[in-house]
């Protein structure tokens, strides 16, 4: 069965960037989706994707897209 974490993370980050440019929003910065890689060896661990989002107060949030179960 196909997994769409890449697609969903891409759509979320694109929407947040577009919203940030087009509207009066509380979002100040949106990072690119990051792949879940092993911290020292660099190999692929899962299909999970993470996106860092910063608000206008400088607080950073981590948006995670991963398969349930």
Contact 55, 61 (CB under 8 A): yes
pLDDT band at 3 (very low <50, low <70, confident <90, very high): confident
pLDDT in tens, 11-48: 999 999 999 988 889 999 999 999 999 999 999 999 99
pLDDT in the model for residue 64 = 97
Distance of CA 7 to the CA centre of its chain: 11
pLDDT in the model for residue 50 = 97
Domain boundaries, the chain: 5-65
51 three-class SS: strand
């Amino acid at each position: 069965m196909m997994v769409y974490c890449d697609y969903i993370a891409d759509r979320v980050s694109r929407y947040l960037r577009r919203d940030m440019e087009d509207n009066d929003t509380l979002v100040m910065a949106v990072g690119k989706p990051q792949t879940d890689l092993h911290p020292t060896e660099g190999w692929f661990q899962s299909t999970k994707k993470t996106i860092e989002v910063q608000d206008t107060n400088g607080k950073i949030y981590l948006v995670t897209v991963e398969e349930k179960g």
